[in-house]
Amino acid sequence: MVMKKSVVIAGGGIGGLAAAGALAARGLDVTVVERAGRIDSGGSGLVLYPNGVRAADALGGRVGARIRAAGHVTADDEVRILMDASGTVLAEEPIGAAGRELGAPQIPVLRRSLHRALLDEALAAGAAVRLATTVEDYTAHEDHVAVHLDDGSTLVCEALVGADGINSAVRRRMLDDGPPQYRGYTSVRGRTTGSVLGQRGHVVNGRGIQLFIAPVGGDTLYWTAKITSPPGVWPAMGPQAAQRALTEALEGWYEPVVALVRDADTADIVVTDIHDRDPAPRWTDGRVALLGDAAHPMVPALGQGANMALEDAAVLAEALASAVSTGSASASSAVTVPAALEAYARERMERAAAVVLQSRRQGSVDQGAGEAAESRRNARMKSAGRKDSDLAAVVGWRPRAQPHERTQPPRPTAGSAVQTKESAAIMRTPHVVLVSGSLRTGSTSDRVAEWCARLCAEQGATVRVFTGSEIDFPAYRPGLGAVHEGAAQFLEELRRADGVVLVSPTYHATISGLLKNALDLVNDLDGPLPYLDGRAIGTVAVGAGAQGAVSTLTTLRTIGHALRGWPTPVGVAVAQVPPLPATDEPLSPEGERLAQMVSQVMWMSSARAAARPALVRAAA
């Protein structure tokens, strides 16, 4: 008889319950330990973006269907109204059309409803929930984990998942990295029924205050006010006084918005100072792993906290499912629990770090704390027609195909043909430029760039690889491209490009100065579509250090956003060039991840190439 592997999950929040249901459904013996006496997160809401909806669907069972039934599924023609405090409309953000293009809708939903759906699925799958109990510590052993509870008892399991929030005891034991960091603003949240604003989303901008409003069905709106403030001030008021103080702070605002806050049920008001943490250097300790806010707490500016926790749960469930049966595989081929948790962390850490930092940046912009900052925020929102910076790389996440449903990606071959410029123009074939940041000829970075180029060509793109020696330009100065032949050629290739792949060594946990200098030339990229506007950006970090790779990838993605590109959801860290497999062999794990990144670059580049004439006409 095969024994089920036992997993203890510290925390019964969104991430913990999602993981519990998915793991139990995949044959693991799951116990959730929750400090509260009941599973109920109050009346505030959240938005599940397309990535969170896909993650919910990937959990299995009826999770996705239950969430759709409980929340407000955004219609294809739905817009979110962006306005200033007086009620002047800055823009109408087409959130329904964005969801249609991404293949999954936005779904605002009450936290209470989401918790209920996840709890019911977890219990139906066979998970046990132990309430009014706290995980205080753990002791790691080679073949098990001893989980120490606040009542003095100990649970023994084969894996411990720390999903116990921003002040996680599991994280403290694993990393001991101190308290989270206050980010300069607080949040007052509530829900209101019968508002004259109707069932439509709004973002309302004031000086030092921003309100986000979303329909959750049943003539109810949930709202969140982010307020610039010293720490501790608003939470110390309590819900009733905080609601009254917020209503007073909104004096002179558009009256329906003031009424929304004033008429909310005080019992549903939640007040929280906003904190986050810098990306963690690791998420695992043998048989222990972190998940959700315990791993990557983030500010709510992009609304990604719950979405990322659902992504974590979906990836963790598939990783641990590979180690579910000790009797179904030989000792030499079986995946161990520590190895499965490491695979989960590798897949999640770089993406989570990028979203934490992007959320932090967006949060500082959102507040408009000062006359000049308020004006810049409102002007940017009016010009861009959306609340946030471009989120394609964030909300475009999809769960990886599982072995039973995965098709082998095209393999690069040394003889891949590269089409001519003329044929590319006729066929609107995507053109991809790959740039290596290592000066040493024949370096690993150069060879990884060539590997990716072969795969792009195999999938139908024209390609141009710039090795490190080819981008060894003089120090950037405006107009360099007009007087330096090599720089001019580089700019011309970028001008033609539909996608760009940046490959950098992990020099001191950042990107190479050679690559930085070359990318500074993008400031001189003129024409109808300046900078790298709308181009897909693939990112690869080459080096053996995990934390250095995370920092390098985060920097590459930040540069991609700054250059107005679209970084792909997947960034890749490799230590060496993956081998080219024989026809009947699978790609190595590093090769498969590179192939996934290239596939995303190709998909985004192909879409841009198809629309290129219209894009140029619109920009002209």
Reading the block at residue 440, the tokens are 């040493």
CB 157 within 8 A of CB 7: yes
- Determine which helix (DSSP H) or strand (DSSP E) holds 189, and give its type and residue range: strand 181-193
Claim to verify: residue 460 and residue 579 sit in the same structural domain = yes
Please give the tally of structural domains in the chain: 2
Claim to verify: residue 436 and residue 540 sit in the same structural domain = yes
Claim to verify: residue 414 and residue 328 sit in the same structural domain = no
Claim to verify: residue 444 and residue 530 sit in the same structural domain = yes
pLDDT of residue 424: 34
| Range name among 166-170, 491-495, 508-512 with the lowest pLDDT average | 508-512
Mean pLDDT in the chain? Answer: 86
HEC string for 245-289: HHHHHCCCCCHHHHHHHHCCCHHHCEEEEEEECCCCCCCEECCEE
Q: Which residue has the higher pLDDT, 139 or 492?
A: 139
Residue 446 and residue 168: Cα distance in Å, rounded? 42
The C-alpha torsion from 7 through 9 and 12 to 17, rounded to 10°, is -50
Residue 163 and residue 11: Cα distance in Å, rounded? 5
Domain membership flag for residue 27? yes
Domain membership flag for residue 488? yes
Q: What is the pLDDT of residues 232-246, one digit of tens each?
A: 999 999 999 999 999
Claim to verify: residue 413 and residue 282 sit in the same structural domain = no
Residue 49 and residue 8: Cα distance in Å, rounded? 28
Q: What is the pLDDT of residues 289-306, one digit of tens each?
A: 999 999 999 999 999 999
Q: Which residues contact 488 (CB under 8 A, 6 or more apart)?
A: 481, 482
Q: Which residue has the higher pLDDT, 509 or 535?
A: 535
Kindly report the CATH number assigned to the domain that includes residue 557.
3.40.50.360
Closest by CA to 230, choosing from 183, 179, 167, is 183
Claim to verify: residue 348 and residue 441 sit in the same structural domain = no
pLDDT of residue 408: 39
Closest by CA to 493, choosing from 453, 460, 454, is 453
Q: Using the Cα atoms of residue 341, residue 346, residue 351 and residue 357 in order, give the sign of their dihedral.
A: positive
pLDDT of residue 617: 41
Residue 196 and residue 353: Cα distance in Å, rounded? 39
Whole-model pTM? 0.68
Claim to verify: residue 321 and residue 419 sit in the same structural domain = no
Under DSSP, is residue 238 helix (H, G, I), strand (E, B) or coil? Answer: coil
Domain membership flag for residue 236? no
Kindly report the CATH number assigned to the domain that includes residue 343.
3.50.50.60
Residue 567 has pLDDT above 90, yes or no: no
Q: What's the N-to-C CA distance of the chain in angstroms? A: 70
Task: Select from 313, 340, 364 the last residue of a domain.
Answer: 364
β-bridge partners, 284:
289
Closest by CA to 114, choosing from 222, 13, 221, 220, is 13
Q: Provide the greatest CA pair distance for the chain.
A: 75
Claim to verify: residue 435 and residue 512 sit in the same structural domain = yes
Q: What is the pLDDT of residues 13-67, one digit of tens each?
A: 999 999 999 999 999 999 999 999 988 766 589 999 999 999 999 998 899 999 9
Domain membership flag for residue 198? no
Reading the block at residue 334, the tokens are 């079986």
Q: What is the pLDDT of residues 383-394, one digit of tens each?
A: 888 888 778 788
Length in residues, the chain? 620
Backbone angles phi and psi of 178, in degrees to 5: 80, -175
Domain membership flag for residue 263? no
Claim to verify: residue 417 and residue 355 sit in the same structural domain = no
The arrangement of strands across the sheet holding 270-276 comes to 89-93, 80-84, 201-206, 209-215, 220-228, 181-193, 270-276
Q: Where in the sequence is the domain holding 162, given as residue range(s)?
A: 6-69+110-180+278-364
Domain membership flag for residue 296? yes
Q: Which amino acid belongs to residue 538?
A: G
Where are the alpha helices (H) located in 497-611, listed in sequence order?
513-520, 546-562, 589-610
Claim to verify: residue 339 and residue 412 sit in the same structural domain = no
Task: Select from 305, 338, 364 the last residue of a domain.
Answer: 364
| Range name among 45-49, 408-412, 554-558 with the lowest pLDDT average | 408-412
Domain membership flag for residue 395? no
Mean pLDDT of 264-277: 95
Claim to verify: residue 435 and residue 333 sit in the same structural domain = no
Domain membership flag for residue 57? yes
Q: What is the pLDDT of residues 452-461, one digit of tens each?
A: 999 898 888 8
Task: Select from 310, 335, 364 the last residue of a domain.
Answer: 364
Residue 598 and residue 505: Cα distance in Å, rounded? 18
Claim to verify: residue 356 and residue 415 sit in the same structural domain = no
Closest by CA to 472, choosing from 525, 432, 436, 508, is 436
Q: Using the Cα atoms of residue 222, residue 228, residue 233 and residue 237 in order, give the sign of their dihedral.
A: negative
Closest by CA to 358, choosing from 311, 395, 391, is 391
